[in-house]
């Protein structure tokens, strides 16, 4: 394990082998980081989480959420009991390098940020190799099927298939 910056590790939590941690990291209780995790620039990971072979940058991941296999979570807020399928990615940078816009009540709001991921609410599950576009809001208890690209906000309980 390579650690650059400060790490606060809660009771019963552990960092498994071959992890690289840049910047500051706060980890709650009974959480497992790794193996092979890459944690960048200021992250908060709550209690009872598992972040495995995944990259996390500048994000908040709340209690009992899992990102075990080959995911990317950047500049995002992840609710409780969210499960990321293997290879799920959250985009945090527009392809045209413009500021990320967030749709709220049908109006596009300029976030003023070049990098902004997603807000994924409690209980959502994503399938393998799904992608969530930057600036999207995914409601509670949504289901995103494998290989699906989330290009719009999802309402609570919405199921998104190909």
Give the span between the Cα atoms of 19 and 10, in whole angstroms: 17
Phi, psi of 98 (to 5 degrees): -80, 170
**Residue 69 designated active-site:** yes
Neighbour-count burial of 129, counting CB atoms closer than 10 A to its CB (0-12 exposed, 13-18 middle, 19+ buried) = middle
**Beta-carbon contacts of residue 158 (< 8 Å; ≥ 6 apart):** 139, 142, 143
Q: Answer whether 134's CB lies under 8 Å from 94's CB.
A: yes
In terms of Cα–Cα distance, which of 106, 94, 141 is closest to 122? 141
Rg over CA atoms, the chain? 15
Q: Which one of the listed residues 38, 50, 69, 122 is annotated catalytic?
A: 69
Catalytic amino acids? 69
């Amino acid at each position: 394990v390579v650690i650059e910056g400060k790490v606060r590790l809660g009771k019963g939590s552990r960092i498994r082998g071959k992890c690289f941690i840049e910047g500051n990291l706060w980890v709650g209780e009974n959480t497992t980081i790794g193996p092979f995790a890459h944690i960048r620039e200021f992250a908060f990971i709550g209690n009872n989480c598992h972040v495995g072979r995944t990259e996390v940058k500048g994000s908040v991941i709340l209690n009992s959420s899992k990102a075990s296999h080959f995911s990317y979570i950047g500049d995002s807020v992840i609710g409780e009991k969210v499960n990321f399928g293997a290879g799920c990615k959250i985009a945090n940078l527009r392809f045209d390098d413009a500021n990320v816009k967030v749709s709220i009540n049908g109006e596009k709001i300029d976030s003023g940020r070049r990098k902004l991921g997603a807000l994924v609410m409690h209980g959502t599950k994503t399938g393998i190799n799904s992608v969530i576009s930057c600036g999207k809001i995914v409601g509670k208890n949504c289901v995103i099927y494998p290989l699906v690209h989330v290009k719009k906000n999802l309402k609570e309980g919405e199921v998104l298939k190909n």
